[in-house]
Amino acid sequence: MAINNAYLNSVYEDLAARYAEQSEFLEAVHEVLETLVPVVESDPRYEQQNIIGRIVEPERTVIFRVPWVDDNGKVQVNRGYRVQFNSAIGPYKGGLRFRENVNLSIIKFLGFEQIFKNALTTLPMGGGKGGSDFDPKGKSDGEVMRFCQSFMTELCKHIGPDTDVPAGDIGVGGREIGYMFGQYKRLTNSWTGVLTGKGLTYGGSLARTEATGFGLCYFANAQLKANSQSFEGKDVIISGSGNVAIYANQKATQLGGKVIAMSDSNGYIVDENGIDYKVIQVIKEQKQARISTYLDYVPTAKYVPGCSGIWTVKADIALPCATQNEIDEDSAKALVANGVVGVFEGSNMPCTPEAIAVIKGNGLLYSPGKASNAGGVATSGLEMSQNSERLSWTFEEVDSKLQGIMESIYAACADAAKKYGMPGDIQAGANIAGFLKVADAMLAQGVCY
Ligand code: NDP
Ligand code: 2IT
């Protein structure tokens, strides 16, 4: 759909023609640009200095071969990516995703979102993202280690504690970070905080594991509270059963909600008595098993194959925490029909544009991932601070900083939305508040990138 401003629309059209095959990237850019109309119309410098044309193009993109030897002695080849999108306000920062469907479009959409998300955290971090079309699922520990070592053998040339600091994302957890950190150290002969999400014995931060899920619920709680609501007594759907989903379950439950449905890429479970996050931890973190095995622990629960049906479960709050475009228009309609009060995004870009229109059009509360899932990268920023000062903070210290950051992100989004004439529109507010910080830094630094 055309953007209602000639300059923004021409930048988008140019991008759409140049990168026609990058559908996820174009979706993410369009979503941001259409909310920036009042911003570029209120300050001519953004157009004069072509800030939009610059912000949609990565500063640097690295694509590389990742060869590794599998357990049968066969030489495998995967592709590695690192998109260094924007360093105006700090070193590039963002996760690494290891999943079969990873391609340049997906890494660029994630890197683009990361620019605004990182700005919202108030910490000095630029935007970047990387990954590979390698999937650790079904691979042995040895295979994962050899892959991670090979991946880092190239990536180490492009990153550094003051240059670019990767972390985890889908398919990259503590194990993968550990193997990559070890290889970086060996290749550079230096111990630095070059990755976040590290283990607690070697520079990791307490509460980083929990941070994205906890942060999501702190954000949702702030938005619910501003609308005279809360988690108390509410039934909650959480898609996914990975890092973000597990700790979103823990915090939503602590805040008085009951998590009745969770999923993986094969199907979903429904347990009307409430899903204990500790059971999911055992299934996913210890056994690397499928969510269907939940029935071995709770035989009264129900398992349904296929992922999208989870949005038809009757509940009050939806927390998508799996992947992009997991809620389409029909799923959004099902949420509306079931009387859901709010959709708060834990995953990156889980709602399609059509789904967002249905959700917002029907008056549901809605928070975009770049605001409500920023707790993960914010706590990565806190890990970087601890590494720099060679100290570790307590769980309570990190958790309370996280909570403060999430509440201030909510306030910044709400304020920006109000200031630009869209009160209550947290999606527009997030894009505007994130953009203003980065754009003003780019203006101050001249045409350097
Ligand atoms: P994990 O790899 O720990 O878990 C991902 C979960 O999502 C798994 O349950 C996985 O199922 C499911 N999933 C993945 N792809 C699909 C798919 N195509 N359809 C249905 N389910 C799917 O990843 P995270 O929890 O770390 O990440 C989840 C989301 O949160 C991603 O969008 C990520 O970008 C975002 N995010 C993560 C942050 C972090 O700190 N980790 C920070 C901010 C955002 P299966 O087991 O079958 O693969
Ligand atoms: O999408 C994200 O914000 C992440 N995967 C976390 C990035 C980070 O650097 O902690």
Q: What is the pLDDT of residues 342-385, one digit of tens each?
A: 999 999 999 999 999 999 999 999 999 999 999 999 999 999 99
Is the CB of residue 377 below 6 angstroms from any atom belonging to ligand 2? Answer: yes
Q: Could you tell me whether strands 164-167 and 235-238 are parallel, antiparallel, or unpaired per DSSP bridges?
A: unpaired
Which ligand is closest to the CA of 136, given by its number? 1
Residues 280/245, Cβ–Cβ less than 8 Å = yes
Sheet of strand 92-98, all strands in order from the earlier edge strand to the far edge:
60-69, 75-86, 126-132, 92-98, 164-167
Which residues 6+ apart lie within 8 Å of 62 measured at CB? Answer: 80, 81, 82, 83, 84, 154, 155, 158
Atom of ligand 2 nearest to the CA of 97: 5
Could you give the CA distance from residue 352 to residue 349 in angstroms, rounded to a whole number? Answer: 7
Could you give the CA distance from residue 339 to residue 393 in angstroms, rounded to a whole number? Answer: 42
Could you give the CA distance from residue 77 to residue 56 in angstroms, rounded to a whole number? Answer: 30
Is the CB of residue 242 below 6 angstroms from any atom belonging to ligand 1? Answer: yes
Annotated catalytic, 129?
yes
Which ligand is closest to the CA of 285, given by its number? 1
pLDDT the model gives residue 346? 99
Is the CB of residue 95 below 6 angstroms from any atom belonging to ligand 2? Answer: yes
Q: Could you tell me whether strands 267-270 and 342-344 are parallel, antiparallel, or unpaired per DSSP bridges?
A: unpaired
Per DSSP, 62 falls in state E
pLDDT the model gives residue 139? 98
Map 73-87 to HEC letters: CCEEEEEEEEEEEEC
Map 157-182 to HEC letters: CCCECCCEEEECECCECHHHHHHHHH
Could you give the CA distance from residue 272 to residue 258 in angstroms, rounded to a whole number? Answer: 8
Per DSSP, 312 falls in state G
Could you give the CA distance from residue 261 to residue 241 in angstroms, rounded to a whole number? Answer: 10
The neighbour count for residue 47, using CB atoms within 10 Å, is: 17
Residues 270/258, Cβ–Cβ less than 8 Å = no
Could you give the CA distance from residue 387 to residue 237 in angstroms, rounded to a whole number? Answer: 36
Catalytic: which of 93, 129, 251, 437? 129
pLDDT the model gives residue 448? 83
* Beta strands per DSSP E along 312-422: 317-319, 342-344, 365-367
Is the CB of residue 383 below 6 angstroms from any atom belonging to ligand 2? Answer: no
The secondary structure element, H or E, covering residue 237 is: strand 235-238
Could you give the CA distance from residue 328 to residue 308 in angstroms, rounded to a whole number? Answer: 9
pLDDT the model gives residue 1? 85
In tens digits, the chain (449 residues) has pLDDT values of: 899 999 999 999 999 999 999 999 999 999 999 999 999 999 999 999 999 999 999 999 999 999 999 999 999 999 999 999 999 999 999 999 999 999 999 999 999 999 999 999 999 999 999 999 999 999 999 999 999 999 999 999 999 999 999 999 999 999 999 999 999 999 999 999 999 999 999 999 999 999 999 999 999 999 999 999 999 999 999 999 999 999 999 999 999 999 999 999 999 999 999 999 999 999 999 999 999 999 999 999 999 999 999 999 999 999 999 999 999 999 999 999 999 999 999 999 999 999 999 999 999 999 999 999 999 999 999 999 999 999 999 999 999 999 999 999 999 999 999 999 999 999 999 999 999 999 999 999 999 86
Q: 77: exposed, middle or buried (C-beta count within 10 Å: 0-12, 13-18, 19+)?
A: exposed
